[in-house]
Structures are given as C-alpha cells and as structure tokens.
Amino acid sequence: MELLSPKGFSDYELIDCGDFEKLERFGKYITIRPEPQAVWKKKLSDKDWEQKAHVKFISKSSSSGTWLKLKDIPDRWNIKYKISGSENTSELSLRLALTSFKHVGVFPEQAVNWDFIHHSIKSLKTKSPKFLNLFAYTGAASLAAKSAGADTTHVDSIKQVVSWANENMELSHLSNVRWVVEDAMKFVKREVKRGNKYNGIILDPPAFGHGPNGEKWKLEDNILEMITEVLKLLDEKEHFLILNTYSLGFSSIIIENLLGDFVRKNNSNLNIGELYLQATSGHKLPLGVFGRLRNF
C-alpha cells in the first residue's frame, strides 16, 4: 500500500495539527480549521497557533460556521501550484475564499493526483484523450487534465462551485473545459446510455451529499452502483481511473474489492494507498484512501 503526500507545493504548508484542529498556510495567510482525524496532541502551543494564524473557523453546527479574523486577511486570495516535473506552462492558479463550510477552495493533499492526471494524459498514445472529473469541486484536477491537452468534462452538482472552477480556469490561462451542473450518478448513467468513453476519470465523492434536485448521496450506500457505472465509461484500449474516499473508517481494502474484478478482466494495474499531509511540526495527517487503476 502506498502512502502519498504532496511535494513541492510552495504555496501550501501544514504547520501543525492536533486536538481536532489543523494550522495551515495558504500562500501568505494562515488558517485554523477543524480536523476530525487529528486525534493526537498539538506539537505547538495554543499561543503559537494564535500568534501565527490570520483567521480561525468557529463551528456553529456539524456542517457550517463562521470565521474569526485574528489579523488582516482578505475574503479571497489566489495561490499557485506547478505540476511536478512539468514544463513551466503547467502552473495552476487557484482562487481561495473563506466559506461557511470551513473549506477554502482546495484540498492540498489532492496535488499528488493532479500530478498523476497530468503525466498520465501526457503518456497516452490517444491523440485527443478525454477526461472526466466527477464530484469535481473547484476544478484543480480538471485544470491538470486540460493543461496536459485532454478534452475535459467537469461535473458537480453545485452551480456556485462550478462557477468557481471556471474562474480558476481563467486564472490559469486555460479554456474550453466542459462544465456540467448535475447529479454525478445521473450524468454517468446518461453517458453510459450514449456510449461515451473516457481515457481518464477521477471521482472524489463526499461521505454525504445532495444533487441539484435533492438527490441523496451516501458513500456506503451508493459507491458500488457508482463504480459499476463509471467503469463502463473507460476506454478499452487506454485508460486510467482514480477513486478517492475521505470517510472515517473507510478502508483501502474496500477500494481494492470494488475495483478488483475490473482489474482482473481488463489486465489493468491497480495501486491502493492513503493520502496524507506532512506537518512541519512532525505529525502526518491522514486524509483518505485511494485506488488508481491504469491500462496504457
């Protein structure tokens, strides 16, 4: 099993984590946010955290809260990420913001997948590879694919988030990503009926969620149906797929079991593992399990 953590993400730093919180730097601004996986003690003192931080998220419920500004910080700012080992033009620009859901617009641990997507597309023999990003959020994975030359489709159920992703595309000097505001399951089933195929797919489903028309998503209840349909969309000749799951207690063995039959039937390679962020203070923060299959 692989353990993967981003390297060379100069605009991001996990400074410390513990006591169910994390202290992070995004560009030049430092945030304090809740982190349910950080069950250990902090390395740095509470005073150190308060002195370093520009803003702290205060939870009001399990799903929302407010930001307490400790120093001057804008409500929006930009960071950059350069695809590892890529040419100078493969640099993503991402707009961040203080949202009421504790998120700021990027999941830094996913940078290892942005690299994998970009380099996988560059390695394909297919002249015009097609890439699909499901549960696509603000679109960093879509931009990584587009910067590698893929015909890219981005699907998310929240219109405001798709607009955010479009802004990131423009900031990154890219164009022509196909934006789709729709429930991921409905979109996938429709694509299967149409006979459409993709060379690369990533899906990073939430533990819980809702579609634009109230469709309910629960990871444990829906992941088998979703994966069964998604695998039908993979190009038979050249393909890769990334499945991420961030849910407490969700094992990488589950991913191995979900993808195992497809791997055996199609002679694909499967790697499973765990994503984490390395804190400067020393701790490793686990942030979900993944499966990567490829056949090219």
| Neighbouring residues of 296: CB distance < 8 A, sequence distance ≥ 6 | 120, 123, 124, 125, 237, 238, 239, 240
Residues of the chain with CATH 3.40.50.150: 77-295
More confident residue, 47 or 211: 47
64-112 pLDDT tens trace: 999 999 999 999 999 999 998 766 568 999 999 999 999 999 999 999 9
Cα dist. 131→8, 200, 229, 288 in Å?
25, 5, 16, 22
Cα dihedral sign for 279, 140, 232, 218? positive
Instruction: Note the pLDDT tens digit of each residue in 197-219.
Output: 999 999 999 887 877 777 888 88
Candidates 3.40.50.1820, 3.30.360.10, 3.40.30.10, 3.40.50.150; correct CATH number of 77-295? 3.40.50.150
- Average pLDDT score, the chain: 94
Please state, in angstroms and rounded to a whole number, the distance separating the CA atoms of residues 288 and 69.
Answer: 29
Residue ranges matching CATH 2.60.40.1180 in the chain: 6-74
The domain made up of 6-74 is a member of CATH 3.30.70.1070? no
